[in-house]
């Protein structure tokens, strides 16, 4: 047996799969949970050591014979997290995560120093927003200057895991574009933004070398082999951000395809062979982890909102669909603005979860559950309408992420987005994408299919399991969405 490993370093857990490249199937999988430290100022942090502990725990659940069959490995990681490293390879501070919104003032400072948001979008493609890495670096400088001065290297979560696996320090373009430090059109670090962040220090010296998507990040070291129980010397691919790698796992590697992920965050993205810049700033101008670009919408509250409401009502996760099915489309008039973590799109770093429309009749469990599900998809519709302005008009959307397991949520998505929703057999898109990217890199060295689209067609079979067509509730949702947008505009001054 010959396998490749996919690691998905997520917010809530680390997942690992072993994919048999001959039989073209996942032969083993395991996961281990992470904690997260949260504070009322928007701080969301994790210790990088927790990720390593979780990977060790997950690998230990896999049979040694299967572990020994691996020839390559690819890492998908939660985007935007800031991992500062000293010259000994030590992490200097807890990792501020993608969902951390405590750096609003630092965003203002960088954007202002660089000539304003419009100027940054024009020159580099992405404004500096809470959640992106750039403002976390300035926060670190302002709040922990002595540690900042010791910082030798800036890494992202997946880069850090690659570093622990190989001892090498590199970064690839997809995840790098989510730092807001990269000129995504020219694929180089933006001197303007780096100087706006720190005019006294050349931060390019702290940023890793950028490598192409098919190039290896390195090879598993002796230390990592012993630590994780995997073969020494196997290839570790460039890896990438979770959305970039999930795009590989769902086959979103050619123009015209779109994927929506319902996870802790909600994302909607499509592949492009050229840069896509949204002057309104709703769609992030990211690079892909396959050599192209991946324009992407990200909302910071997706399954977050359903989990909060579910726990409030003490509803078992297996009963969500049943309870939501008791409510009519529109949840009896209840509309939830699900900004529990603040929000990136729209840019509401001070946003709060807000329930609107309560009356004497509609405050019922089923309406509360259903409106939390609808809220996540309304956020996706904002993004889909922005995509359409940019020339993307998908005939169907591939659905992935934990929320995709809900049959009711699938239909709600089709109705609100007025687009067919496709559910495939590939549930762990990010982990599978990591495995397939590693196979792609392996083939470049050892021979085999080097054309990614052909490799995806051969291995990412993702055969359609279910298809959900827009139904009779689309008209109802058009009206509810108009109300949703009015509420957003009315409360925007409180959330910015």
Please state, for a pLDDT cut of 90, what percent of the chain lies above it: 86
pLDDT score at 61: 98
The catalytic residue among 100, 159, 242, 278 is 242
The residue assigned the tokens 């700033």 is: 281
Catalytic, 478? Answer no
Residues in the chain: 496
DSSP character string of 428-465: -HHHHHHHHHHHHHHHHHH-S---HHHHHHHH----EE
Is the fold of 3-248 the same as that of 251-425+463-495?
yes
Res 457: pLDDT = 87
pLDDT at 462: 55
Rounded Cα distance between 24 and 390, Å, is 36
Question: What was the pLDDT predicted at 496?
Answer: 80
Cβ pair 82, 136 in contact under 8 A? yes
Look at residue 460 in the predicted model and tell me its pLDDT. Answer: 76
This prediction has a pTM of 0.91
- Measured between alpha carbons, how far is 29 from 27 in angstroms, rounded to an integer? 7
Q: What is the mean pLDDT of each run of 10 residues along the chain (496 residues)?
A: 97 96 95 95 96 98 98 97 98 96 95 94 92 97 98 98 98 97 96 96 97 97 98 98 94 87 92 91 94 94 93 94 97 96 88 96 97 96 93 89 91 97 82 97 96 90 77 97 96 89
Angle at 258 between CA 215 and CA 73, to 5 degrees: 30
- For residue 31, give Cα distances in angstroms to 34, 62, 358: 10, 10, 40
State pLDDT tens for residues 254-288: 887 799 999 888 999 999 999 999 988 889 999 99
Which two structure tokens, joined as six digits, stand for 14? 């680390």
In eight-state DSSP terms, residue 275 is -
Phi, psi at 3, each rounded to 5°: -125, 160
Identify the pLDDT of residue 472: 96
Fold exhibited by the domain 3-248: Nucleotidyltransferase; domain 5 (3.30.420)
Distance of CA 365 to the CA centre of its chain: 30
Nearest residue to 251 (alpha-carbon basis) of 426, 71, 27, 116: 426
> Where are the domains positioned within the chain?
3-248, 251-425+463-495
Query: pLDDT (tens digit, 9 = 90+) per residue, 40-53?
Result: 999 999 999 999 99
| pLDDT number for residue 464 | 59
pLDDT in the model for residue 323: 96
Write the pLDDT tens digit of every residue in 462-485.
555 789 999 999 999 999 999 999
Options 3.10.20.30, 3.50.50.60, 3.30.420.40, 3.30.1340.10; CATH of 251-425+463-495: 3.30.420.40
DSSP output for 253-284: -STT-EEEEESSSEEEEE-BSS----TTSSSB
Coil/strand/helix, residue 325 = coil
What is the distance between the alpha carbons of residues 254 and 273, in angstroms, rounded to a whole number?
8
């Amino acid at each position: 047996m010959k396998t490749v490993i996919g690691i998905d370093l997520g917010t809530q857990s680390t997942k690992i799969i072993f994919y048999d490249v001959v039989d073209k199937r996942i032969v083993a999988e395991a996961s281990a949970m992470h904690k997260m430290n949260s504070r009322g100022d928007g701080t969301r942090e994790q210790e990088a050591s927790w990720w390593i502990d979780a990977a060790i725990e997950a690998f230990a659940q896999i049979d040694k014979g299967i572990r020994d069959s691996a020839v390559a490995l690819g890492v998908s990681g939660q985007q935007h997290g800031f991992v500062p490293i000293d010259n000994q390879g030590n992490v200097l501070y807890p990792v501020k995560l993608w969902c951390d919104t405590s750096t609003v003032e630092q965003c203002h400072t960088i954007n202002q120093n660089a000539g304003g948001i419009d100027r940054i979008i024009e020159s580099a493609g992405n404004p500096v927003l809470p959640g992106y890495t750039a403002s976390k670096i300035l926060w670190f400088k302002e709040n922990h200057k002595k540690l900042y001065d010791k910082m030798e290297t800036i890494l992202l979560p997946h880069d850090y895991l690659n570093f622990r696996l190989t001892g090498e320090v590199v970064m690839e373009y997809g995840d790098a574009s989510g730092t807001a430090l990269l000129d995504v059109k020219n694929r180089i670090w933006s001197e303007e933004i780096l100087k706006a962040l720190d005019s006294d220090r050349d931060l390019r010296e702290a940023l890793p070398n950028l490598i192409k998507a098919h190039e290896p990040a390195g090879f598993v070291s002796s230390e990592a082999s012993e630590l994780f129980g995997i073969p020494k010397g196997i290839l570790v691919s460039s890896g990438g951000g979770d959305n970039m790698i999930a795009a590989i796992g769902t086959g979103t590697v050619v123009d015209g395809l779109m994927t929506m992920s319902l996870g802790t965050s909600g994302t909607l993205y499509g592949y492009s062979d050229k840069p896509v810049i949204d002057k309104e700033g709703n769609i992030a101008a990211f690079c892909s982890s396959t050599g192209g670009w991946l324009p992407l919408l990200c909302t910071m509250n997706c399954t977050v909102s359903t989990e909060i409401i579910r726990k409030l009502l003490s509803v078992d996760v297996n009963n969500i669909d049943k309870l939501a099915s008791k409510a009519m489309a529109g949840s009896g008039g209840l509309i939830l603005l699900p900004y529990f973590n603040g929000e990136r799109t729209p840019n509401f770093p001070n946003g709060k979860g807000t329930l609107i429309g309560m009356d004497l009749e509609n405050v019922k469990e089923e309406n509360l559950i259903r409106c939390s599900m609808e809220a996540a998809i309304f956020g996706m519709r904002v993004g889909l309408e922005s995509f359409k302005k940019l020339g993307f008009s998908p005939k169907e959307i591939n659905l992935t992420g934990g929320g995709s397991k809900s049959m009711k949520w699938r239909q709600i998505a089709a109705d609100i987005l007025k687009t067919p929703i496709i559910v495939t057999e590939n549930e762990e898109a990010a982990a599978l994408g990591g495995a397939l990217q590693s196979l792609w890199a392996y083939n470049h060295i050892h021979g085999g299919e080097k054309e990614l689209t052909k490799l995806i067609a051969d291995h990412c079979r993702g055969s359609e399991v279910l298809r959900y067509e827009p139904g009779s509730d689309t008209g109802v949702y058009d009206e509810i969405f108009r109300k949703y947008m009015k509420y957003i505009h009315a409360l925007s001054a409180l959330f910015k």
